[in-house]
Every structure is written in C-alpha cells, then in structure tokens.
Structure 1
Amino acid sequence: MAHAILGITLFVLFAAHHLLNMRWFRMLGRGRYNTQRTLFVAIDALLCAAMVLMAVSSVLMSGSVFEAAPIRTTQFARDLHLASSAWGFLLMAIHLGLHTRGALSRMRAHARNTAFDYVQLLLMALIALAGVWCFADSGLLGDMLLLGTRRNHAAGVAVSFARYLCVVASVCIAVYGLFSISRMATSRRSGKQ
C-alpha cells in the first residue's frame, strides 16, 4: 500500500509539474531547434512516455489499490512497470542533470585556478565512479532491459535511497561533463576556422 501511495503521489507531482510549466509546452512550436533544445525535448518526451507507462502498468498490476477495476494482474504488466520505472528514473536523472549543469558550471568557474579546483574534480570523479557502481549494483539495467535480475533488499531503505541518490548525482555529473566536452570541441572547431 505504501508503494502505491508513493507512486500515486509521484504521478500527481509529475502532473502538477507539467501544469505549472505550461508555458514550456506553448513554446514548443516556436523558435529554432538546435542540438541542445532537441535533446531537452526528446528527453522530456521519453520521460513523459515512461511516466504514463508507469501509471498504466500500475493500474494493470495493482491488486489492493485498484481492486474494483475489472483488470486481471499479469506478469506483462509487472514487467512493463519495472521497465518503465527504471527508464523513468534514469530519464529523470538526465532531466535533472540538464537543469543542474549551469549550477555545476558556475561552481567549477568559481574554483578554477585555485587549490579547490583539483579537490572539486576529484570529488566529482569519485561521485561519478560511486554512481556507476551503485547503478550496476541496483539491478536497474536488468529492469530496463527486462532481464529479470534479482536484487538484494537486505540493505534497508536508507542505504537504497543513498545508492539511488548517488546514481542521480553521477548522471548529473556525466551530463555536465558531456556538455563541457561538447562546448570545448565546438570552441576548438570555431577557433580553427
């Protein structure tokens, strides 16, 4: 029941987030689409699809919350729920990374050419590596690819939450790193011309 209530709350927050950002939807048909804007829209569209699949599959597989519904629980609905949840989690992390890369850029700019610059890079690298390990250990990839991997749930809620938070932080760092590399490559190309 707690899982169902948290899931419904997540979907309500997702819907509220979109209602509060209706201006973004109105702007979709305006302006030019460069690589960055196309990436933003593609990630958001995929995230929206994953959230809808999560909601639909939860109704299809729920026994206690939607027991009045004339739908029988199936293994397909459970698999679809696991896959859409895993993809939704990763896409939310990428979405967050796209929105936090400006803050990471400012943080890096303030530390540039100081002693903290190397400490900051080392911390980011350690967080990224820890996030990769947590992602591999979490079983998310198995859920994303419908491989049916088993997880060790003995760690507890706090440890599991910390692991997923580490995955999100590493994805944000990866998005920041990819944009930084892209920006450097673009500036080098424009400098040679």
Structure 2
Amino acid sequence: MPKRVDHEHRRQQIAAAVRRIAADRGLEGVSLNEVATEAGISKGFVQHYFASRDDMLRFAVTTLRSGLEERIATPPGAEPRVRDLLVALLPLDEPGRDAALVANAFVVRALKDPEIAGHFRTGHGLLRDAVAALLTAAKEAGALSPTVDPTAEAGLLLALVTGLADAVLLGYQTGEEAVALIDLHLSRIST
C-alpha cells in the first residue's frame, strides 16, 4: 500500500526550518539547500513543495501568525488584559527573541514584496483591533481615562512595543526596563 504523505505537515516542516534559519542568520541565510539541510530533507523535496525561494518565503510568513497567537493567548480561565498582551509581544525569553528576529527579517523583505507586506498589514490590523477591544472594555469598566480613544491608543501602544522590542533585541534596554515603560504608559491612561 502506498505511503500517505501529509503535504501540509511537510510544508509546515519546511516553514519551521525557514524560521529557524531566519532567527539565526536572517533571510539572507535562507536558500533551498540550507532549508533542506535544516529540515532534514532533500532539496528536491523542498522544490516539490515550493517552486522558488520567494514562494517558500511567502508561505513561511503566513505561519508567523499562529506562533504570535500562541504567545499572546490568555490562559484558560484568566481575564484578558492589555498589559499581558503587550508584554507577550516583547522578546523576553528565547522563543520571544527568535520570533522577534524572524519577524524583523520578514519586515525587511516586506519592504520589497507586496504579498509579504500584505500579511503584515493584515496581522497588524488584527492585533490593533484586539488591543483596541481590550482598551474599550477597560474604558467601559471605568479603568481608563474617559478621554482615551481606544483605537488611537492601540496604535500608540503597538508602536511603543515595537520600539521597545527592537531596543531589547539590540541590548540598549533590558526586558525589565521595557516592561516598566509599558507599565508607565498604561498608568498614564488609567484611572
């Protein structure tokens, strides 16, 4: 009987290899040969699933959202909080650092690739909407200043976290300092 191949699993395996290489060496280190070696499969296998390096990168960027969703997920039974979501976006541990390095590598690629840029715009919009919804709930509960515009504030908070994440990656802020700055900003808009 012929062996059944889970094609989606293979594509995910290749995307995981792309992410590992990107975290270690950036996208310039990603080639069909390197990905095949990292994934423990042949170059022909990679080419079977992806006609080109660009196709492989475009697929790999679609897999970033699931990792982000896992990082920012609220534990079962816990109340979702803006602070927890924002802190989860910082590279405070090895998986967070790797995720930030991979995302940054793809951001550079997105500047020249409209398809990848579209994935980032969509993901950012979903994240902004999630933060805005949490801020709206906090405002309705009386925990935020009545003058806070949840949508505008969500944009500001995500910009703050992006800058802080880069600062932590580059080593001119510690994770603790970045969290303290998030707390400072949140205290300014809280009642």
TM-score (norm 2): 0.27
More helix by share: 1
Flag the structure with more relative contact order, 1 or 2, with Cα contacts below 8 A and sequence separation at least 6: 1
